[in-house]
Structure 1
Amino acid sequence: MTIVCRPDELISDLGDDVLHVEDLDAALLALSNDPTEDLVVVGPRTDAAEALRFAAHLRMERPTTGVILVREQVDVELLTEALRAGVREVVRADDTVALVAACQRSRALSDRARAELHVPDEPEQGERGKVVTVFAAKGGCGKTTIAVNLAVALAGIDGTRVCLVDLDLAFGDVAISVQLDPVRTISDALPMAGHLDTTGTASLLTPYRPGLDMLLAPVTPGDAEKIPASLVSELLGVLRGMFDFVVVDTPAQFSEHVLTAMDVSDHHVLLTTPDTPALKNLRITLDMLDLLSYSRDIRSVVANRSDSKVGLTPGDVERVVRSPLSLQVPSSRSVPISINKGVPIVLATPNHPVSQAITKFARERLIGRPVATKAKAFARRGAGRR
């Protein structure tokens, strides 16, 4: 059941399993009477300041319960204050689709929060893989290249099973980067939405090499708009049960689909290059992730083309973004050459400094296994500063 405070015509579209209350005190009483309830939708007629105080209270007293705020108008100031108070999402009163999707995401986040708060004493049957989302808020940082090579590096470690998901639904480049024919794409999952299983999901995948499959982006114009964020969440949930790692390549924007991937991720790989626009966008990204209460412990900041002679050192980058660098990938002409050939550099030239840096990151940061001494020595000789 969903608790709705001061319902209006839009919020009534949430379905029959809804409890309508007239004020936030009544909402608190309803929550106390039902310890399993995990969602409160606050309608546009409720005072914004009262709604934010209510969300801040629940964030401390009942962290698994989500609050969604519905407003007639949404601006940056309101969004910032709402996120700080603990509101999970703010949606416009005239957007039914966005409200329904926000409720689905909030419930998924509540389920995950409850699972983390109530860890069973005995290990669960069957292990779940890790979701790693690669994101850059500015295009041209080499995000797809890093995501592809990271997936290849993970798949080459002790039989690890990996799936690379191209979540850049409108302009995905994963297929062309590795010269795959996108016969099956994520849009083929639409008829299975709501009842996806491993068999149906496996039918969507395109094999690339042993241990590495890919879920490719749509190629037909307009298909991207048909894919709801709820389907992305469902797909990632099934894939993490099929693979050891699910690497997600994203578009260069905080879309609803990207936030869905961030929500279910075990690790965020945040990419930048040593230039002012990219660093500015990374700083905004880090602030946004903090506002959304994502853990900093699952965050890795990566500097691509880190040794470019552009007047900014890795130390300068760390000072600007106020975060340490987990990975520095050197600049090399071999990278665009590998892209044009359609063969990831980690696969084509495993001993290249770029390959060594990405493989080292995959082993030590994502899998937690130190690289061999010989590999470290090579990295020092070939890659220079680390």
Structure 2
Amino acid sequence: MTFYVYVEPDAERRSTVGSLYADYGFDVVSDLDDLDAHLPRNPETLLVMIGATVDLEAALTFTSYQRVQRPLIGVLLLRRTLEPDVLARAMRAGIREVLEELDAEGIRVAAARSIDLSKALSTSMRSAGDQAQAAKIITVFAGKGGCGKSVVATNLAAALSGDGNRRVLLVDLALQFGDVAIMLQLPPNRSFSDAISMGGKVDEAGLRSVITPYRPGMDALLAPSSPAEGEHVSRELVTEVLEVARGMYDYIILDTPPAVTDQVLSALDLSDWFVPIVTPDLPTLKSVRLTIEMFDLLEYPRDRRLVVFNRANTEVGLTTEDVEEAVGAHLSVHVPSSRDVPVSVNRGVPIVLQDPTHPVSLAMRRLADRCSGVMSSQETRRKLFAFGRRR
């Protein structure tokens, strides 16, 4: 993880000036185009140091844009000499400080000051986000493996993110054998285990450093690549991470293991929606029935449960009424079985993105609408009819 970037087109300066700050662990890029490509891949960046040979107008334009898009990033501008008109223009653009490129001590002090300010802003923004509208947490759960839980979780996250107009975080809480990374073909360079050292002091910048972007509006927090590492992710850390993430996203989707662990319980306690997955086979029906009973015991609200009937069109001699009676709950969304689903998984693209009009995609969008409070016309008619009968 690198929090600092130095951009300088001149190769000699990159070598001499960059060596002065090697202890900071700066990444070095050669121009602003490279920097634009670097930042989305490294959302944890807190400080950008713009070298003396970077064009002033380009530096000011870059800073003005980042001031809106990435307000946590502090920009220091290095110049060969300090000029009053440059200082004034830099301050108006949002550059935090302008320094002489060889003033090593001044730059170290300014960098530390800028980083402290970014961290304070992160805390302030998180507090403001908490006071505004916290993200809705949606936990997808199945007490038995092989139900398509991860398929539902990844597609639900993609459906909720839309065209990037919503901010969605997909969290893989199957901490020992998670599948989100492989299903989205994401590199396992960052994971939940990287947050262990932050326990008790997780902030927005720290959380961004362990998150992997997938597409505009959709990020992922991956499970550790090693099962042994997953054992060290505590219930307290899960709670802390989710609380911080609530101020950063609109929706948080949790993909869970087929077991009620301490980490899963901590997530369930914070959840706004509970999404059990049922398939038409007896072992799964039993596990979902036990899940529903557990939800009742823990007093999770019934009107916040959305039971998904996956592979609903599979001909195995069980009707919808049979399944509802067996699990003791209404089936909110029916997702048909299709060979196109494993094809989309193998491609690393959720089917709602690969084929938006596919019957499975339409079902997943109905689930997303329920979670976001959008009611279908059929549901509206049913509620109005029920209201009329009560009157």
What TM-score range do you get, normalising by the shorter chain? 0.5 to 0.7
- Taking structure 1 as reference, are residues 333 and 306 closer, same or farther at Cα in structure 2, changes over 3 Å only? same
Within 5 Å, give how 1:62-141 maps onto structure 2.
125-141=131-147
Within 5 Å, give how 1:265-276 maps onto structure 2.
265-276=271-282
Aligned to 1:356: 362
* Residue identity opposite 2:165 in structure 1: G
* Residue identity opposite 1:206 in structure 2: T
State whether structure 2 residue 369 is matched by structure 1 residue 367.
no
Which residue of 261, 265, 269 corresponds with 2:267?
261
* Residue identity opposite 2:338 in structure 1: S
Residue 124 of structure 1: CA displacement?
Answer: 7.5
- Taking structure 1 as reference, are residues 124 and 188 closer, same or farther at Cα in structure 2, changes over 3 Å only? closer
Structure 2: runs of 5+ lacking an equivalent = 1-128, 379-391
In structure 1, C-alpha distance between the alignment counterparts of 2:249 and 2:163, rounded to whole Å:
13
* Residue identity opposite 1:248 in structure 2: L
- Taking structure 1 as reference, are residues 372 and 183 closer, same or farther at Cα in structure 2, changes over 3 Å only? farther
Using the aligned pairs only, state the percent identity. 52
- Taking structure 1 as reference, are residues 125 and 255 closer, same or farther at Cα in structure 2, changes over 3 Å only? closer
TM-score by length of 1: 0.63
Contact kept, 8 Å, 1:149 with 1:346, in 2: the verdict is yes
Within 5 Å, give how 1:308-347 maps onto structure 2.
308-347=314-353
TM-score by length of 2: 0.62
Of Structure 1 and Structure 2, the greater helix share is in: 2
In structure 2, C-alpha distance between the alignment counterparts of 1:130 and 1:237, rounded to whole Å:
11
Residue 221 of structure 1: CA displacement?
Answer: 3.6
Aligned to 2:294: 288
Partner deviation per Cα, 1:138-182 (whole Å, 9 max, x = no partner)? 100000000000000000067111000000000000000011101
* Residue identity opposite 1:367 in structure 2: S
In structure 1, C-alpha distance between the alignment counterparts of 2:276 and 2:323, rounded to whole Å:
13
CA RMSD of aligned residues (A): 1.6
- Three-state SS of the structure 2 residue aligned to 1:179 is coil
- Three-state SS of the structure 2 residue aligned to 1:287 is helix
Contact kept, 8 Å, 2:163 with 2:216, in 1: the verdict is no
Aligned to 2:257: 251
- Taking structure 1 as reference, are residues 193 and 124 closer, same or farther at Cα in structure 2, changes over 3 Å only? closer
Partner deviation per Cα, 1:20-75 (whole Å, 9 max, x = no partner)? xxxxxxxxxxxxxxxxxxxxxxxxxxxxxxxxxxxxxxxxxxxxxxxxxxxxxxxx
In structure 2, C-alpha distance between the alignment counterparts of 1:313 and 1:169, rounded to whole Å:
35
In structure 2, C-alpha distance between the alignment counterparts of 1:128 and 1:221, rounded to whole Å:
31
- Three-state SS of the structure 1 residue aligned to 2:131 is coil
Residue 125 of structure 1: CA displacement?
Answer: 3.4
Aligned to 2:123: none
Larger Rg belongs to: 2
Partner deviation per Cα, 1:198-239 (whole Å, 9 max, x = no partner)? 111111110000000000000024101111110000001111
Equivalenced residues, count: 250
Contact kept, 8 Å, 2:311 with 2:335, in 1: the verdict is yes
Within 5 Å, give how 1:153-164 maps onto structure 2.
153-156=159-162, 159-164=165-170
In structure 2, C-alpha distance between the alignment counterparts of 1:227 and 1:366, rounded to whole Å:
28
Structure 1: runs of 5+ lacking an equivalent = 1-122, 374-386
Aligned to 1:152: 158
In structure 2, C-alpha distance between the alignment counterparts of 1:337 and 1:162, rounded to whole Å:
24
Partner deviation per Cα, 1:258-297 (whole Å, 9 max, x = no partner)? 1110000001000010110000000011111111121112
* Residue identity opposite 2:155 in structure 1: N
Contact kept, 8 Å, 2:164 with 2:216, in 1: the verdict is no
Aligned to 2:204: 198
State whether structure 2 residue 178 is matched by structure 1 residue 178.
no
- Three-state SS of the structure 2 residue aligned to 1:326 is strand
